[in-house]
Homo-oligomer: A and B are copies of this chain.
């Protein structure tokens, strides 16, 4: 059988762009054997054509003129690997109007301007493919769209940000402070010089908007997602929770229950023997629960040149095979023009909680603590107070609770703050019970 030739144009010859070029040239034979496709890089556009890169492109491919790509009718698929949410958006729209299918790794752009772009694609009868926008090399977009398509998805639990996971892993294993762990992540190349979008949870939320939309067949706006970052995590709480059998992760959570979808990103204590608790360092993982398949988990590198490039090439293949176009046309997150799903807000979610107060070492502390919680209907499930007295003659008193509504917890915390037995605001972190797929 003759291999079908598929011509590609690439815009943004940075880290991921170089990775894609490397794969298309060095792994070409494998790709053809596996898929019957001959994927050819026809044009690479970057405003900087002189900076040295790690990989030598064949002569004549690199240009600073986007029109070379747009005007080449033989190019079916165009890759936007520029990043950012302004120029990248214009470039995608120009590529779609020129009749190219678009492949992108740009989760921020899709999460924030997806509707505009999806409409432009549908109008042009082209598609946008975005496997590489979520969890690097893990083929999770494809799994949600076809591999698990037989399922009603009830839950999606993920570690979507390698920077946060690297920081939290180091805090947990090496008892490092947040600021030291962040510095280490920056030194090792796992965090940007400005890590704001990673550590404040927004990067994770962008990915949850995309994967949640696919899992629950709906359009998710970034405002639908409750977001808390890891900036204020204190090593004291990681230590205490470890002792109680919990590991701290920045978790993206999507759940569907009674027709309502809830979406949140926040620091979460999970049981230390659960599969997601084993995901360490810069790795990502997604646990998906389906009504037929039960619990599945997908694990791999969530970022980096080659893993991301691997996913970009997977999208090229899916477009060349015709799969992406078909699925894009029916994708609710592209086609829905208005809200079709009911969102359950954080206030209505039942959760367990971890609370630490710094209490004065005097009689009546536990009674006062317990009384406030009891008054708001919150039941204690575990407690630790070590015989150790810290600064200002205080002791950390840690409790965990049975499930309760966020609004009850908010009211209880407000009241706890007023107690004269404590010397600072209580620390409160959610405990997430990931459903167990028990033996039948």
Contact = CB atoms under 8 A, between A and B. Distances in A.
Interface in A292-332: 292-301, 304, 306-307, 309-311, 313-314, 317-318, 321-323, 326-327, 329-330, 332
Contacts of A275: 278, 299
Interface string A146-171: 11111110000000000000000000
A146 B35 CA distance: 8
A321 B33 contact: no
Contact of A147 (B139, B217, B306): B139
Contacts of A33: 217, 330, 332
Contacts of A310: 148, 150-151, 290, 292-293
B327 A36 contact: yes
A138 interface: yes
Q: How many copies does the complex hold?
A: 2
Contacts of A116: none
Contact of A440 (B31, B189, B296): B189
Given A34-B330, A296-B137, A301-B294, A23 B150 contact: yes
Contacts of A314: 146-150
Contact of A292 (B34, B142, B298, B309): B309
Interface string A251-282: 00000000000000000000001010010011
Given A34-B217, A142-B147, A293 B278 contact: no
A188 B440 CA distance: 8
Interface in A105-145: 131, 136-139, 142-143, 145
A19 interface: yes
Given A292-B27, A292-B309, A146 B321 contact: yes
A1 interface: yes
A194 interface: no
A310 B147 CA distance: 8
Contacts of A19: 292
Most chain B beta-carbon neighbours within 10 Å: one of A19, A27, A146, A297: A146
A314 B143 CA distance: 10
A318 B146 contact: yes
Contacts of A307: 292-294
B137 A142 contact: no
> At the interface, is chain A mostly helix, strand, loop or mixed?
mixed
Contacts of A293: 136-137, 300-301, 306-307, 310-311
A59 interface: no
Interface in A343-394: none
Contacts of A27: 150-152, 291-292
A151 B327 contact: no
Given A322-B322, A439-B282, A150 B31 contact: yes
Contact of A139 (B146, B297, B309, B321): B146
A417 interface: no
Contacts of A318: 146
Interface residues of A, number: 68
A54 interface: no
Nearest to A138: B296
Given A150-B314, A309-B150, A439 B34 contact: no
A142 to B, nearest CB: 5
A141 to B, nearest CB: 9
Contacts of A175: none
A242 B193 CA distance: 42
B300 A149 contact: no
Contacts of A300: 293-297
Given A36-B329, A330-B35, A23 B317 contact: no
Nearest to A278: B278
A175 to B, nearest CB: 18
27 contacts: A1-B329, A22-B292, A27-B151, A27-B292, A30-B151, A30-B217, A33-B330, A34-B149, A34-B330, A35-B146, A35-B327, A36-B326, A36-B329, A136-B293, A137-B293, A139-B147, A142-B143, A148-B314, A150-B309, A291-B306, A293-B301, A293-B310, A294-B301, A296-B299, A296-B301, A297-B298, A299-B299
